[in-house]
């Protein structure tokens, strides 16, 4: 998976289109990424004990990784990710400015 935790991404599909955020968690098996504050849904929780109130929580759901695109920290543009191997070390590079991400 080309997107990692801490990357700044832009949503390109769905109800949160054109919003930006930072990747909080990556799920490589499901090919999904979690971005805090985006793709929110409401969860109704029942009271767990006597005297407690029920509540409605807003939680974030994971996005499919194909619905987000990486924002290059150097050129600040949305870009695709490439790889470059130097001295046995693999590094991600921006396809637009060719800088190591």
- Name the architecture of domain 8-71: Roll (2.30)
Where in the chain are the domains? 8-71
Beta bridge partners of 81: 94
Whether the per-residue pLDDT at 3 is higher than 90: the answer is yes
Residue 55 scores a pLDDT above 90: yes
What pLDDT, on the 0 to 100 scale, is given for residue 86? Answer: 87
Confidence of residue 1 (pLDDT cuts 50, 70, 90): confident
3-state secondary structure of 67: helix
- In the prediction, which pLDDT does 67 show? 94
And the tokens for 90?
Answer: 């693999």
> From edge to edge, which strands make up the β-sheet containing 8-11?
63-64, 32-35, 20-27, 8-11, 68-71, 78-79
* Predicted model pTM: 0.82
Residue 38: per-residue pLDDT: 93
Determine the Cα–Cα distance for residues 23 and 80; give it in Å rounded to an integer.
Answer: 16
pLDDT given for residue 49 in this prediction = 87
pLDDT digit string, tens, across residues 7-38: 999 999 999 999 999 999 999 999 999 999 99
């Amino acid at each position: 998976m080309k997107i990692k935790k801490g990357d700044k991404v832009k949503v390109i599909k769905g109800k949160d289109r054109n919003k930006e955020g930072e990747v909080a968690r990556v799920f490589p098996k499901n090919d999904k990424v979690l971005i805090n504050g985006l793709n929110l849904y409401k969860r109704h929780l029942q009271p767990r004990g006597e005297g407690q109130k029920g509540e409605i929580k807003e939680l974030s759901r994971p996005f499919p990784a194909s619905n987000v695109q990486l924002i290059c920290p150097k050129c600040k543009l949305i870009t695709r990710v490439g790889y470059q191997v130097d001295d046995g070390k693999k590094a991600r590079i921006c396809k637009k400015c060719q800088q190591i991400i």
